[in-house]
């Protein structure tokens, strides 16, 4: 402490560079929570665009918006984990985004595209069932134990159900004008709704490995799949989305059949 004209002057203690960098890191850490939330906001925007597109009769556009929301939904969680910016708020915010983009949007898209002209009343019921089952699926996922659902999901994830509806509309974008197709879509959306609240295990795509321990071959297969999807986008997305949507049911039926055959074999051995 020095004196100037009789008054003490307090010199500020020099701040070390490490202290400054620590302060900067703390400030940036607070800002990083905004990045995954911004991705989630864009996902909600895509869901709103899909709803508007469905109401206006732009069905292919609405299906593409739902597909974009699915991509963003896969990104926000990864970004949050990479930036160490996960939070309870982000989890709930993401669920509300999913409800808009993967619950309301595909249900309204299916209704406007297939039901409103030929099966209005029952179409409302099926679309409402899709939304309610989607909300139930999200609520069940939110209250699950933290370690649950890492490798598999219990019930069809709501983005998978939305992808199923969007892929059908994208493959056949013209409005439905035949009763057989209307009846098919009524049953199709009802089955997707039931699969969302089922207890069938569905594998997590982010843990999917095409080959074991060969990153180069994985990259090659993914590149081929991307090329095929780009060239034959409509049938490729239709097959891929529905393969996943019904994989849980197919796996359950396969296991049930295997158990029945095993019991049969045990009974024959005893006899």
Question: What CA–CA distance (Å, rounded) separates 255 from 149?
Answer: 20
In the DSSP assignment, the letter for residue 172 is S
Closest CA to 189 of 251, 125, 233, 249: 125
SS3 174: coil
Task: Note the pLDDT of residue 22.
Answer: 55
| Annotated domain spans of the chain | 16-270
Distance CA 159, CA 94 (A): 12
Q: Please provide the size of the chain in residues.
A: 271
Mean pLDDT by 10 residues, the chain (271 residues): 54 50 53 78 95 96 94 82 76 89 96 94 96 94 65 89 96 93 96 95 70 63 71 86 92 86 70 58
The residue among 186, 188, 204, 197 whose CA lies nearest residue 247 is 204
Task: Read off the pTM.
Answer: 0.80
Residue 196: per-residue pLDDT = 96
Report the pLDDT value the prediction gives residue 91, as an integer from 0 to 100.
82
What's residue 98's pLDDT?
93
């Amino acid at each position: 402490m020095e004196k100037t004209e009789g008054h003490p002057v307090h010199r500020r203690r020099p701040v070390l560079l490490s202290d400054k960098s620590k302060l900067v890191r703390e400030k940036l850490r607070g800002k990083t929570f905004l990045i995954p939330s911004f991705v989630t906001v864009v996902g909600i925007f895509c869901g709103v665009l899909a709803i508007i597109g469905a109401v206006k009769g732009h069905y292919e556009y609405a299906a593409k918006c739902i597909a974009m929301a699915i991509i963003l939904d896969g990104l926000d969680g990864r970004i949050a984990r990479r930036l160490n910016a996960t939070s309870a708020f982000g989890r709930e915010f993401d669920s509300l985004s999913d409800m808009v983009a993967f619950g309301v949007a595909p249900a309204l898209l299916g209704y406007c595209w297939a039901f409103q002209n030929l099966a209005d009343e029952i179409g409302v019921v099926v679309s409402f069932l899709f939304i309610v089952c989607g909300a139930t699926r999200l609520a069940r996922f939110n209250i699950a134990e933290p370690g649950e659902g890492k490798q598999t999901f219990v019930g069809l994830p709501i983005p998978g159900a939305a992808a199923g509806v969007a892929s059908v509309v994208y493959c056949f974008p013209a409005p439905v004008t035949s009763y057989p197709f209307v009846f098919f879509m009524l049953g199709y959306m009802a089955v997707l709704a039931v699969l969302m609240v089922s207890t069938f295990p569905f594998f997590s795509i982010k843990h999917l490995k095409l080959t074991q321990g060969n990153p180069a071959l994985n990259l090659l297969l993914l590149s081929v799949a991307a090329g095929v999807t780009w060239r034959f986008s409509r049938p490729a997305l239709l097959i891929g989305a529905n393969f996943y949507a019904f994989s849980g049911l197919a796996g359950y039926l396969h296991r049930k059949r295997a158990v029945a055959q095993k019991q049969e074999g045990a009974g024959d051995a005893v006899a």
